[in-house]
Amino acid sequence: MFGKESAMKTDEGKISTIIAKGTKITGNIDMQGSLRIDGYLKGQVNSSETLTVGGTGVVEGEVRVKEAVVGGKVMGNLIATQKVELESNASIMGDVKTRIFVIKEGGVFHGNCSMKAETESQGSKGEPVRPPVTEPKPSPATSPVAGKPQGTTTRTGKD
Tell me how far the alpha carbon of residue 13 is from its chain's centroid. 21
- Res 141: pLDDT: 55
- Res 135: pLDDT: 55
Burial class (CB in 10 A: 0-12, 13-18, 19+), 51: buried
118 within 8 A of 110, measured Cβ to Cβ: no
**Mean pLDDT in each 10-residue stretch from start to end of the chain (159 residues)?**
38 75 95 95 96 97 97 97 96 97 96 76 46 53 52 54
Does the pTM exceed 0.75?
A: no
